[in-house]
Amino acid sequence: MPSTPVIAILDVGKTNKKLFLFNELYEAVWEKTELLPETKDEDGFPCEDLNRLRNWIVETLAASVKAGAFELRAINFSAYGASLVHIGADGEPLTALYNYLKPYPEKLRKQFYDQYGGEPGFSMQTASPVLGSLNSGMQLYRIKNNQPECFSKIRYSLHLPQWLSWVMTDKASSDITSIGCHTNLWNFSLHDYHEWVIKEGMISKLAPIRNSGIVHPFIPRNGVHSLSVLPGPAVAGIGLHDSSAALIPYLESFREPFVLISTGTWCISMNPFNGDLLTRTELENDCLCYLSFSGRPVKASRLFAGFEHEQQVERLAEYFQKNKNYFQTIVFDPDIVLKLKSHREPDGFNRPAALQAHSGFALRDLAAFESMEWAYHRLLMDIMEKQAASIRLILSDSVKRIFVDGGFAKNLVYMHLLATAFPLLEVFSAHVAQASSVGAAMAVHEHWNRLAKPADIIELKYFEP
């Protein structure tokens, strides 16, 4: 029986770690998901356990090859950003993988921005809002100032996707999608590292920038020598930041300009066709820029709408004495929307400004609604007012379509309200199974796949205004 040619994708999320084998049609033919316990850094703050992660990769990759008649042709990686692994001369990590949620020292933050032009100007150059440890370059700056002996021993500081590649190839790389993800490292106007990276000596700790589509020979190291028995001439990519990887199936499938709204806890609106530099207003309203796998700027805006929806749905279910999943049964009713729009706002209710992060629904008196259906429509109407404002921040005249993936893509009330908010654009719910993993596989398509890239990998559903 002939073997099935496959690519293995390690998709390392903050919560779930996944390994997929995709065949040449980009169908998942084997998968494994694990929730790995965290460890703690030297300050007692929770962080990723690199040893546990590496061991899981070895065990799972070996198991996948034994699971069926597969010909492993390539490996690539998709992982969360804003996380650096600092390796020494022996290739082993020198520190913990510091959590990007770890509080950043206020004194050090002030020292940095005072020296390099102040927060607004610097943030506009780097397309990076001031986010503390979530600006991964600031993690390296912190080590230089607070752990100088450790800093002197760093051979390379690798973003997490590139460390995964290093483990498999013994080749150190920097990837543009990781560098361009609110790191404070990249000057978007110059399309090069920011001057502080040179002045502070960080450049010597950063590996060469390589094209996102290149591969290296598979040379297992750092405790993964058991994988040297893998069959076939497998190669490994250099890895991608997961948000940029998830955009690849759309960029490969559609040539006309579009906006993609990736919905979950955060609703991130991404416009790969808006290359304008960030304005101060955009920065102040949670906009940033990514870099696509081709190195093009992707203007994005963020809204904490998924989190607000989750909190308010619990409140509604408790008040109306419904199951917490009852909202999933609510169908869109345009008559309710029209009647709610005609209602005068209650006395004392101050509608939040359009660009404010939260909708203000939490301040509404639920006694004003005759049913959970009416209250839920009001919640989504309030959220959509913020969502539409967030989208308009990054919208450009060339855009003709909006795609929505993730949780809200399945929400008919959300989708109909979005279509109504943008009547001149085509609005679609979209679904790509395991988008970031598929994107990572597509990035190195030519190195493992004999077939053309599929044209029907994205499921679409059109919503009329």
DSSP string, 151-166: HHH-SEEEEHHHHHHH
Q: Which residues, given as ranges, of the chain have pLDDT below 50? A: none
Q: What tokens appear for 202 in the block?
A: 């960080």
Specify the residue for token string 């005249």: 397
Side chain identity at residue 250, one-letter code = Y
Q: What sign does the dihedral 455-4-237-55 (CA atoms) show? A: positive
Q: Please answer whether residues 277 and 257 qualify as being in contact, where contact means their C-beta atoms are separated by less than 8 angstroms.
A: no
Q: What tokens appear for 106 in the block?
A: 């206020």
Phi first, then psi: what are they for 263, rounded to 5°? -110, 135
Angle made by CA atoms 442, 446, 447, in degrees to the nearest 5? 100
Could you tell me which of 322, 435, 427 has the C-alpha nearest to residue 384? 427
d(Cα 87, Cα 151) in Å, to the nearest integer? 10
- pLDDT given for residue 127 in this prediction: 93
Q: What tokens appear for 244 in the block?
A: 């940029």
Distance of CA 368 to the CA centre of its chain: 38
Instruction: For the chain, list the domains and their CATH numbers.
Output: 4-238 (3.30.420.40), 242-465 (3.30.420.40)
Distance of CA 267 to the CA centre of its chain: 11
Segment (H or E) for 452: none
Distance from first CA to last CA of the chain, Å, rounded?
A: 52
Distance of CA 154 to the CA centre of its chain: 27
Q: Please answer whether residues 155 and 1 qualify as being in contact, where contact means their C-beta atoms are separated by less than 8 angstroms.
A: no
Burial of 341 per CB tally in 10 Å (0-12, 13-18, 19+) = exposed
Cα separations in angstroms, 310 against 217, 305, 372, 379, 407: 45, 9, 15, 11, 11
Could you tell me which of 181, 257, 190, 258 has the C-alpha nearest to residue 212? 181
Contacts of 330 (CB under 8 A, 6+ apart): 372, 373, 376, 377, 413
d(Cα 153, Cα 190) in Å, to the nearest integer? 30
Could you tell me which of 451, 447, 437 has the C-alpha nearest to residue 74? 447
d(Cα 139, Cα 261) in Å, to the nearest integer? 29
Segment (H or E) for 119: helix 119-126
- pLDDT given for residue 266 in this prediction: 85
Longest pairwise C-alpha distance within the chain: 74
Phi first, then psi: what are they for 252, rounded to 5°? -80, -25
Cα separations in angstroms, 10 against 162, 238, 274, 370: 12, 12, 30, 49
Phi first, then psi: what are they for 387, rounded to 5°? -60, -45
- pLDDT given for residue 224 in this prediction: 53
Q: Please answer whether residues 336 and 373 qualify as being in contact, where contact means their C-beta atoms are separated by less than 8 angstroms.
A: yes
Mean confidence (pLDDT) of the chain: 92
- pLDDT given for residue 179 in this prediction: 96
Name 210's bridge partners: 175
Q: What tokens appear for 354 in the block?
A: 């359009």
